[in-house]
Amino acid sequence: MPIKIDRIDKITANIGKARILILGDIMLDEYLHGRVSRISPEAPVPVVEIATEQLSLGGAANVANNIAALGNEPYLVGIVGQDDASIKLSQLLKEKGISRDYLINDENRRTTIKTRILANAQQVVRADREDVIEISDDIERLILNKFEALVDKIDGVIISDYGKGVITASLLDKIIPVCREKKIFVGVDPKESHFFRYKNVSTVTPNHHEAGFVAGRRIKNDTDLAKVGKFLLEKLGSDSVLITRGAKGMSLFCSDGSVDHFPTVAKKVFDVTGAGDTVVAVLVSAMAAGATLKEAAEVANCAAGVVVGEIGTAIVSKPVLTEELKHNFANGDDYAA
Strands (E), the chain: 3-4, 19-24, 26-39, 46-59, 73-80, 103-105, 112-119, 122-129, 156-160, 185-189, 203-204, 240-244, 250-254, 259-262, 330-331, 334-335
DSSP secondary structure string, 256-292? Answer: TS-EEEE----S--S--TTHHHHHHHHHHHHHHTT--
Q: How far is the C-alpha of 228 from the C-alpha of 217, rounded, in Å?
A: 7
Strands 156-160, 122-129: parallel, antiparallel or unpaired by DSSP? Answer: unpaired
Q: How far is the C-alpha of 281 from the C-alpha of 64, rounded, in Å?
A: 8
Strands 46-59, 122-129: parallel, antiparallel or unpaired by DSSP? Answer: unpaired
Active site residues: 277
Q: How far is the C-alpha of 29 from the C-alpha of 109, rounded, in Å?
A: 17
SS3 93: helix
Residue count (the chain): 337
Distance of CA 311 to the CA centre of its chain: 17
Strands (E), 106-196: 112-119, 122-129, 156-160, 185-189
